[in-house]
Structure 1
Amino acid sequence: MVLAASSVISHNRTINSLAFPLPKRRNIAVNHHQHHSKVYLHSFPRLHDVYQCSNSKTFNPSCLAKTAVSDVQLHNPNPTTATAAAANAWSEFARNVSGEWDGFGADFSIEGSPIELPESVVPEAYRDWEVKVYDWQTQCPTLAEPGEKVMTYKTIKLLPTVGCEADAATRYSMDERNIVGVDNKVSAFAYQASGCYTAIWPVADNGTHELWELEHCLINPRDKESRVRIIQVVRVDGTKLVLQNIRVFCEQWYGPFRNGDQLGGCAIRDSAFAPTATTKASDIIGEWQGPNAVATFDGSGDIFLQELKDNGSLKSIRDESNLILLPKQLWCAIKESGGETCSEVGWLFDQGCAITSRCSFSSEGKLKEVSVARETTVSEDVYHQMI
């Protein structure tokens, strides 16, 4: 359990996203020991970006998007500068994603209903009081190496306890994930300097169909010590992705990486959320716009680690079609259009302000694109001017 010293990571937790900047937090230097639903999107390159436009046309990059864009040719940057920028982006991501993330997690049906924990893990006192328990208390110690594009984290579920016995909670399960390295299990990973990431995890099949986990990790743009992870578990049915269930983790940053050795316990800043009120559809549907960061994939799987890079401004229209409303101002959806499939998750972190993550798959079931956008609602007058 003791980790070999591998690097010194500065946990100043500053966020300098290529898509949109976030406020900064105090500097903390520590030594780490490593043990290891219908949506239309319109994208417009920013005027100050280094693009050379040749002509305009309309294309459909995903089943959720009908995007009006211009054919663009990116000027070849200085290779040394580009390499340094990529290294800096990963280093910033490593600082912002690493640490002890504690909170609560719960499973939901495809209708968005919370799923009770197994009776065998619920304390007798709760059963006697006929109290239903839906949430696990969780830990997610995460370590990304700033000098190497390697990352590992554990999702630890703790047995439910009564009262402040949480300070002496017992581990129920631990799921360790590795990105890059000899133990890599991820098939695609897109990251942003802010600490947001999206990962595609092939998991053991059920005997008939392969299962994938589409993991979307979103950092609160106004509080970089708060994040959510929404995992869409999908069954691969030929070239179709069929949603099976949803997992949600709401987490707070409690300090530098300690490999899960210290638990927030009763000092935890959050509470169980699964049975609480779901997001209002009226707060989500409508016109949205905002800066968008994109990572593209060729479907071969040869290059599975990509940075989410600024792609100008996104414009979208969202309705209730296939929308799954979740607690904590969260939602998700999986849509099909023209043979393509798109998954979307979103977090309404303030009224009229959301951060979203999308995965677009081709008609062959290959990942084409991952995007993360910070969106704000658009008034009807402004929207009609934009189109």
Structure 2
Amino acid sequence: MALAASSVIGGVSHNRTINSLSFQLPKHGNIACSNCRIFTASCLAKTAASDVELPNSNPTTAAADSWSEFARNVSGEWDGFGADFSIEGSPIELPESVVPEAYREWEVKVYDWQTQCPTLAQPGENVMTYKNIKLLPTVGCEADAATRYSIDERNIGGVDNKVSAFAYQSSGCYTAVWPVADSGTHEVWELEHCLINPRDKESRVRIIQVVCVNGTKFVLQNIRVFCEQWYGPFRNGDQLGGCAIRDSAFASTAATKASDVVGVWQGQKAVANFYGSGNNLFQELKSNGALKSIRDESNLILLPKQLWCSLKERGSETCSEEVSIALETTVLEGV
């Protein structure tokens, strides 16, 4: 038996259709990661069931073709906005030291970073790299001359690999599990979910749950949300989207309604199985039947952009090592 935690991030559209991505991590030693714990996580985004194709599970060439398509869809310059949220769903203000004096004089609170995420996946091999770049806030339309505040480079695959598990779909969606270097006494993990909007493949959301393992407890520390638009082919962040960005700051906008999340949901799912995969931390999501979920308001954290998050303890349970993605639509009462 092993302790587990169930963590969910989600989004809903007006027709109450959901796309969900979930995964589970194994106990110590079952994957090529010496410090893995068991998690169950899910990630949801607005979409319509007819818009998404679950990948085919035909042999090696199909897998290679799927990765090549994924590489095409995920690579490029992704510009947008990012914000941190507390475990209550409240946006966290940017440090006062980075906010222009004009905002402080006007008593304007700033919650959003303007961001870049140049991403490059190699079509011929399972290697991907990207950078989370935060830009210092500017006043007015000065973003084209913005200064970089921080750069966080992430490497997936190859000799510089830092990821513990990675599951992908040809659409450009993926889930990554990152161990966080921490000088404290507790393990810290980042569970990252990237979801491409199937109706607009130049629009995506990345959600990161920061989870601390405190003894036998899995504690959600904070949530990061990035809303991004594809700005052009990969150029390693050399060019800013600036005022041409097709999105806007979102952290202080209205949160999702609980009534849009609770209820019974069902849909088709695809699965990536890590069990017995040895050192192969890359897995493709493949069609695997139907999924039914029942959600209530318990532990629900409501976020802007039709997103939500929850973390629930699941004690005395043995979990398999898999990732699944599913499209869910609400089930009418009495049906």
Q: For this structure pair, what is the TM-score category when the shorter chain's length is used for normalisation?
A: 0.7 to 0.9
- How far apart in 2 are the matches of 1:93 and 1:63? 24
> Where in structure 2 are the equivalents of 1:267-306 lying within 5 Å?
267-298=244-275, 302-306=279-283
Bigger shift: 124-133 or 316-325? 316-325
- How far apart in 1 are the matches of 2:161 and 2:298? 36
Q: Which amino acid aligns with 2:87?
A: I
1:379 to 2:323 alignment: no
Question: 1:89 deviation in Å?
Answer: 1.0
- How far apart in 2 are the matches of 1:259 and 1:64? 30
- Per the alignment, residue 149 of structure 1 pairs with 126
Question: 1:300 deviation in Å?
Answer: 8.1
Question: 1:197 deviation in Å?
Answer: 0.4
> Where in structure 2 are the equivalents of 1:62-77 lying within 5 Å?
none
SS in 1 for 2:321: strand
> Where in structure 2 are the equivalents of 1:1-387 lying within 5 Å?
82-298=59-275, 302-340=279-317, 362=318, 368-382=321-335
- Per the alignment, residue 26 of structure 1 pairs with none
SS in 1 for 2:212: strand
The two structures, once aligned, show a CA RMSD in angstroms of 2.2
Q: Which amino acid aligns with 1:374?
A: L
SS in 1 for 2:91: coil
- How far apart in 2 are the matches of 1:120 and 1:62? 36
- Partner deviation per Cα, 1:37-88 (whole Å, 9 max, x = no partner): xxxx9xxxxxxxxxxxxxxxxxxx99799xxxxxxxxxxxxx9x61101101
SS in 2 for 1:144: strand
- How far apart in 2 are the matches of 1:215 and 1:310? 22
- How far apart in 2 are the matches of 1:238 and 1:298? 25
- How far apart in 1 are the matches of 2:196 and 2:40? 25
Normalised TM-score (structure 1): 0.70
Question: Which is greater in Rg?
Answer: 1
Q: 1:178 to 1:133 in 2, by over 3 A?
A: same
- Per the alignment, residue 12 of structure 1 pairs with none
- How far apart in 1 are the matches of 2:162 and 2:281? 11
Q: Which amino acid aligns with 1:83?
A: T
- Partner deviation per Cα, 1:93-138 (whole Å, 9 max, x = no partner): 1111111111000000011110000000000000111100000000
Q: Which amino acid aligns with 2:167?
A: A
Aligned length: 285
- How far apart in 2 are the matches of 1:241 and 1:331? 18
- Name stretches of at least 5 consecutive residues in structure 2 with no aligned partner: 1-19, 21-37, 43-56
Bigger shift: 304-313 or 157-166? 304-313
Give % identity.
82
